């Protein structure tokens, strides 16, 4: 057996969930285009290769269909219906379907003037931190990082204020869908996901109706307006787009805030720098996204044979583009395993690259900046409460189970 075939490559093993960077460094150095029998996928770990792969037409994003087809034998009816609901999401489509959806969503995003949302997000973070301190809570995820993004997306879509808790609940159910996030171990996850999705889609349909008769300055109303070319999203597409925004923007942003706080706590000299020079927050957020960003792996299917570093990659195979490894490639970043909040330039690919690059990146950055800045400012003496936090066993996302902290803020 060749040495590279013996590399421990199980990214879901407990040690790799706790610290993926060690195993990823070995792969990146010794076998940067690695066939993993464990994952039945190619693991691509060098920055240049991952960045190039994100623009390679031989790699398809149409990944829900084959994934669910492979599972069909276990769970036919639920998978089929989930597939119907989700296979149209732009994140899992290729051009030309993707091009049209992305253009129509991109236009509505532009109209939202994300930069003007800062004040509203500050007020939200403030009130979450008020409750966190006054209630004597300790888990920053449950009380701050988790509720913030769902509330922001619900508001952005124009959902009435009273419905925001339901949004958070649906967002949880969405995370159970078979994308490798959350609850892998739950045998009933397809049924639960399906029930949650059906409820969410029904709700979104009624929201579409409401905004059709009473348009507002929200993003859903903006997505209903005729494009200059006369093109519009169909009702199903509108509903699907809203669900996608909730799915794509919630857990990721929660993890961006939580992983960022943890990295600061584990590197006190960087936390001290941020306290001393709060204006560092902009480069700090980029660095924290590079250092331990929310997305570990992006999944692609090969639709055309190609060669990479002497390996023959064949149509029908699966490729994992390991963002977490690329973002710590020493060929691209000096001292990659050390967070340096003033790192600049910082060409990380935590938001992907190419045609599917994150459409919500500006919003995610704004929320993360405001949340981190306020946590640091309002919680003096912030420290980890209870030993080392645990990471979820998830292939796609880098996600903590909880983040319990202590601090010296007066109640």
Given the rule CB under 6 A, which residues bind ligand HEM?
61, 90-91, 102, 153, 244-245, 248-249, 252-253, 256, 293-295, 298, 350-352, 356, 358-360, 363-364
- In the complex with ligand HEM, the residue whose CB is nearer, 62 or 199, is 62
* 133 phi and psi angles, rounded to 5 deg: -75, -50
What span, in angstroms and rounded, lies between the C-alpha atoms of 36 and 395?
13
Of 78 and 91, nearer to ligand HEM (C-beta) is 91
CB of 365 to ligand HEM, least distance (A): 7
Q: Which is nearer to ligand HEM, 55 or 268 (CB)?
A: 55
Nearest approach, Cβ of 105 to ligand HEM (angstroms)? 7
Q: Which residue's CB is nearer to ligand HEM, number 177 or number 363?
A: 363
Based on CB atoms, which residue is closest to ligand HEM, 33 or 358?
A: 358
Residue nearest to ligand HEM (CB): 360
| CA 357 – CA 328 distance, rounded (Å) | 19
Tokens standing for residue 190:
């397809």
Give least dist CB 399 to ligand HEM, A: 11
Rounded to a whole number of angstroms, the minimum distance from the CB of residue 8 to ligand HEM is 26
The distance of closest approach from Cβ of residue 411 to ligand HEM in the complex, given in angstroms and rounded to an integer, is 31
- What CA dihedral angle connects 76, 80, 82 and 88, to 10 degrees? 150
Task: Work out how close the CB of 249 gets to ligand HEM at its nearest, in angstroms, rounded to a whole number.
Answer: 3
On whether the CB atoms of residues 287 and 340 are closer than 8 A, the answer is yes
* CA dihedral sign of residues 84, 301, 241, 193: positive
Distance CA 177, CA 82 (A): 8
Is the Cβ of residue 31 or residue 336 nearer to ligand HEM in the bound state?
336
Q: Output 78 or 321, the one with its CB closest to ligand HEM.
A: 321
Residues 64, 206: Cα–Cα separation, whole Å: 26
End-to-end Cα separation, the chain, in angstroms: 61
**Alpha-carbon distances of 102 from 96, 108, 113, 275, 358, rounded to whole Å:** 10, 10, 17, 39, 11
Q: Which residues contact 264 (CB under 8 A, 6 or more apart)?
A: 270, 271, 274, 288, 372, 376
Taking the complex as a whole, the smallest distance from the CB of residue 367 to ligand HEM amounts, in Å, to 7
| CA–CA gap between residue 22 and residue 37 (Å, rounded) | 19
Nearer to ligand HEM, 36 or 61 (CB): 61
Min dist. Cβ of residue 197 to ligand HEM (A) = 16
Contact 323, 295 (CB under 8 A): yes
């Amino acid at each position: 057996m060749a040495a590279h075939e013996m590399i421990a490559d199980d990214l879901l093993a407990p040690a790799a969930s706790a610290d993926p960077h060690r195993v990823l460094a070995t792969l990146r150095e010794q076998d940067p285009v690695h066939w993993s029998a464990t994952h039945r996928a190619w693991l691509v770990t060098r920055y240049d290769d991952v960045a190039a792969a994100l623009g390679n037409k031989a790699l398809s994003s149409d990944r829900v269909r084959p994934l669910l087809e492979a599972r069909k034998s276990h769970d036919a009816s639920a998978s089929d219906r989930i597939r119907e609901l989700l296979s149209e999401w732009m994140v899992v489509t290729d051009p030309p379907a993707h091009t049209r959806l992305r253009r129509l969503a991109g236009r509505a995003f532009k109209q939202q003037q994300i930069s003007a949302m800062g004040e509203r997000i500050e007020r939200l973070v403030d009130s979450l931190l008020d409750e966190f301190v006054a209630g004597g809570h300790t888990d920053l995820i449950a009380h701050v990082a988790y509720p913030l993004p769902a509330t922001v997306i619900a508001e952005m879509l124009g959902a009435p204020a009273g419905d925001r808790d339901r949004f958070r609940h649906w967002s949880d159910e969405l995370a159970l869908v078979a994308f490798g996030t959350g609850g892998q171990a739950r045998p009933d996850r397809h049924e639960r996901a399906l029930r949650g999705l059906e409820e969410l889609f029904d709700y979104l349909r009624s929201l579409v109706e409401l905004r059709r008769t009473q348009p507002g300055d929200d993003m859903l109303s903006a997505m209903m307006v005729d494009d200059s070319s006369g093109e519009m999203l169909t009702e199903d597409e509108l509903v699907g787009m809203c669900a996608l925004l909730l799915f794509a923007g919630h857990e990721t942003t929660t993890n961006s805030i939580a992983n960022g706080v943890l990295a600061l706590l584990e590197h006190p000299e960087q936390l001290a720098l941020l306290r001393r020079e709060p204006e560092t927050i902009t480069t700090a957020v980029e660095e924290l996204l590079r250092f331990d960003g929310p997305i570990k792996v992006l999944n692609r299917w090969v639709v055309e044979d190609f060669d990479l570093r002497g390996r023959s990659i064949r149509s029908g195979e699966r490729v994992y583009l390991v963002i977490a490894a690329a973002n710590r490639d020493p060929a691209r970043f000096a001292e990659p395993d050390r967070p340096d909040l003033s790192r600049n330039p910082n060409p990380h690919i935590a938001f992907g690259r190419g045609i599917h690059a994150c459409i919500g990146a500006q919003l995610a950055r704004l929320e993360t900046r405001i949340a981190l800045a306020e946590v640091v400012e309002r919680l003096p003496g912030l420290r980890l409460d209870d030993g080392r936090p645990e990471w979820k066993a998830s292939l796609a996302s880098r996600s903590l189970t909880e983040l319990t902290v202590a601090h010296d803020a007066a109640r």
